[in-house]
């Protein structure tokens, strides 16, 4: 029961459960209440930020009473940094909430999970990330230069996260050396609203199984500072892994995303190589690669298992990125056809197949919704691993027309997953089993794998 305070601006509620993506749920005067960054069992004080007919949205002000299972967060940045959201929960509790949230989405959409196989956790709960994109900025207006993550619940502040615990020591060293180097140089960070400044982002990728490290400094062209001086600093650091690449990406676009308008190689080669399940993968600076390497091995093993017998079958790997899933199943399959939007990733997929001595893989660059029409092969199995927005309705129409016996759907967004599954079920597919795989400990996200067969 909530407690009325002042002019109804602040109320106290007890959180009853969470809904994906881990939003705390309570009730107040018969209205449903949503509060981000809260967990079941907590009593909280929140300020009403949205009031609608059937619900209220609160902004968390204070946790008045902790939940009994809460623990001390490992990272000193936790709570201020906008990255992790649940380091204060035991890992078992994180997995329990993730599983419940995904199952509830299926139930609410009246979509069966088939046999629900539970949640598979990540081997590593810390130091698991193989890629981070850090932003240059300041913690407060006029403060010293910072490099790291956006601050929680703030649109502007940047926090230097040189103690971040979801990356390893090599990442932390690069952050610290980079921010220290540029603090001295008095170069302005890029201000999105003013469209002015030089320093934008720092992208770090590390292949966890090979130890190869890529450092990519992203700036505008508004200053002719010699970035080779920066490369020298990074080259002189001692790493646990091996520094393989230093790149300088020029990005004058107005968007806050990293857009590689021009990429200059400052040291080494412009890619790193990772080993996954006995195969080698070339990862170029901007292509998609699962951000938790050990998690990816486990996820792809689940996919392989869900596919059952791929012996002599034609497999479509739609939204294939650098062709990881397709190549993992290729040794048994008759043929693999992969489709991916990013040309650079497709080039890497082709090279990867050569690297791995696989001659039965074809990778095509293009939008799945458009390209799939022109594919002549007939698939026995279709793997779908779309971005968060799910499978485009046009693409789903073609997927259904192919009439494949089996579909394995891998999703990083269970909300769009259930919408797409509904369409597949309406068109003659049956959901056999579902498993949730945590790839992103300490965050509300996870992957869901579903096996469907044609009835
Ligand atoms: C979740 S990732 C999966 C990648 C790959 N299966 C893997 O595990 O590494 C989704 C991929 O879909 C690609 N993509 C996004 N929209 C697309 C579209 N309309 N057509 C084809 N590929 C698309 C993205 O570039 C990204 O590589």
Same domain for 57 and 206, yes or no, is no
Distance between CA atoms of 82 and 349, rounded to whole angstroms? 33
Same domain for 248 and 142, yes or no, is yes
Quick one: DSSP state of residue 60? E
Give the mutation target among 281, 319, 389, 440 for probing the ligand 1 site: most ligand atoms within 8 A of CB.
Answer: 319
Same domain for 296 and 431, yes or no, is yes
**Considering 207, 238, 271, which residue would you say is the last residue of a domain?**
271
CA 396 remoteness from chain centre: 23
Whichever domain contains 36, its CATH number is 2.40.50.140
pLDDT tens string 410-438: 999 999 999 999 999 999 999 999 999 99
Give the mutation target among 293, 302, 316, 340 for probing the ligand 1 site: most ligand atoms within 8 A of CB.
Answer: 340
**Residue recorded with tokens 């939204």:** 319
Instruction: Note the pLDDT of residue 154.
Output: 86
Same domain for 308 and 228, yes or no, is no
Task: For ligand 1, atom 17, name the residue with the nearest CA.
Answer: 341
Same domain for 315 and 399, yes or no, is yes
User: Per-residue confidence at 7, pLDDT binned at 50, 70, 90?
Assistant: low
Instruction: Note the pLDDT of residue 1.
Output: 44
Q: Is residue 78 part of a domain?
A: no
Q: Is residue 185 part of a domain?
A: yes
Residues annotated catalytic, as ranges = 412
Same domain for 222 and 353, yes or no, is no
Same domain for 301 and 410, yes or no, is yes
Q: Is residue 12 part of a domain?
A: yes
pLDDT higher than threshold 90 for residue 344: no
Same domain for 417 and 304, yes or no, is yes
Q: Is residue 79 part of a domain?
A: no
Same domain for 416 and 313, yes or no, is yes
Same domain for 137 and 172, yes or no, is yes
Distance between CA atoms of 156 and 2, rounded to whole angstroms? 32
Q: Is residue 278 part of a domain?
A: no
Q: What is the mean pLDDT of residues 112-136?
A: 98
224, 273, 268: which is closest to 246 by C-alpha? Answer: 268
Distance between CA atoms of 177 and 243, rounded to whole angstroms? 14
pLDDT higher than threshold 70 for residue 88: yes
pLDDT tens string 65-82: 999 999 999 999 999 999
Q: Are 371 and 350 in contact (CB under 8 A)?
A: no
> What does each C-alpha distance from 97 to 85, 104, 221 come to in angstroms?
13, 10, 45
Instruction: Note the pLDDT of residue 8.
Output: 60
Q: Containing H/E element for 217?
A: strand 212-219
Distance (angstroms) between ligand 1 centre and the Cα of 325 equals: 12
Cα 317–261–265 angle (5° rounding)? 90
Residue 136 CB contacts under 8 Å (≥ 6 apart), including other chains: 145, 146, 147, 158, 182, 189, 190, 199, 200, 201, 202
294: buried, middle or exposed (CB in 10 Å: 19+, 13-18, 0-12)?
Answer: middle
Distance between CA atoms of 331 and 334, rounded to whole angstroms? 8
Report the percentage of the chain scoring pLDDT > 70.
98
Half-sphere exposure of 447 (CA within 13 A, CB side): 26
Q: Containing H/E element for 19?
A: strand 17-19
Same domain for 48 and 155, yes or no, is no
CA 372 remoteness from chain centre: 25
Q: How many CB atoms lie within 10 A of CB 62?
A: 10
Whichever domain contains 173, its CATH number is 2.40.50.1070
pLDDT higher than threshold 80 for residue 134: yes
Q: Is residue 30 part of a domain?
A: yes
Task: For ligand 1, atom 26, name the residue with the nearest CA.
Answer: 321
Domain of 317 in residue numbering reads as 96-124+292-454
Number of domains forming the structure of the chain = 3
């Amino acid at each position: 029961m909530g407690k009325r305070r002042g002019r109804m601006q602040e109320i106290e509620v007890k959180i009853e459960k969470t809904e994906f993506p881990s939003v705390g749920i309570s009730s107040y005067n018969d209205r449903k209440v949503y509060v981000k960054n809260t967990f079941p069992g907590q009593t909280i004080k929140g300020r009403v930020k949205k009031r609608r007919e059937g619900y209220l949205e609160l902004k968390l002000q204070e946790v008045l009473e902790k939940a009994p299972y809460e623990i001390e967060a490992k990272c000193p940045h936790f709570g201020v940094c906008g990255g992790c959201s649940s380091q204060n929960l035991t890992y078992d509790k994180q997995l329990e909430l993730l599983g419940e949230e995904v199952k509830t989405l299926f139930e609410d959409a009246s979509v069966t999970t088939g046999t629900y196989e539970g949640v598979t956790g990540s081997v590593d709960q810390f130091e698991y990330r193989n890629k981070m994109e850090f932003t240059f900025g300041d913690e407060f207006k006029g403060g010293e230069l910072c490099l790291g993550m956006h601050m929680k619940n703030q649109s502007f502040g940047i926090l230097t996260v040189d103690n971040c615990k979801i990356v390893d020591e090599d990442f932390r060293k690069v952050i610290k050396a980079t921010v220290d180097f540029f603090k001295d140089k008095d170069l302005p960070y890029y201000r999105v609203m003013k469209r002015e400044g030089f320093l934008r982002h720092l992208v770090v990728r590390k292949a966890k199984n090979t130890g190869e490290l890529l450092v990519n400094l992203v700036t505008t062209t508004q200053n002719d500072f010699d970035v080779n001086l920066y490369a020298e600093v990074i080259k002189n650091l001692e790493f646990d892994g091996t520094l393989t690449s230093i790149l300088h990406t020029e990005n004058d676009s107005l968007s806050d995303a990293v857009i590689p308008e021009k990429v200059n190689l400052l040291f080494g080669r412009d890619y790193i190589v990772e080993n996954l399940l006995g195969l080698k993968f070339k990862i170029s600076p901007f292509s998609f690669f699962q951000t938790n390497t050990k998690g990816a091995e486990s996820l792809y093993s689940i996919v392989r298992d869900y596919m059952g017998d791929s012996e002599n079958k034609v497999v479509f790997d739609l939204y294939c990125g650098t062709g990881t899933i397709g190549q993992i199943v290729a040794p048994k399959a008759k043929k693999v056809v992969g489709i991916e939007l990013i040309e650079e990733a497709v080039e890497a997929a082709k090279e990867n197949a050569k690297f791995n001595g696989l001659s039965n893989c074809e990778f095509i660059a293009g939008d799945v919704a458009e390209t799939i029409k022109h594919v002549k092969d007939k698939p026995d199995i279709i793997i779908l691993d779309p971005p968060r927005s799910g499978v485009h309705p046009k693409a789903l129409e073609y997927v259904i027309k192919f009439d494949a016996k089996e579909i394995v759907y891998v999703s990083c967004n269970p909300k769009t997953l259930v919408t797409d599954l509904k369409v597949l079920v309406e068109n003659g597919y049956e959901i056999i089993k579902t498993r949730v795989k945590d790839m992103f400990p300490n965050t509300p996200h996870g992957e869901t794998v579903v096996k469907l067969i044609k009835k």
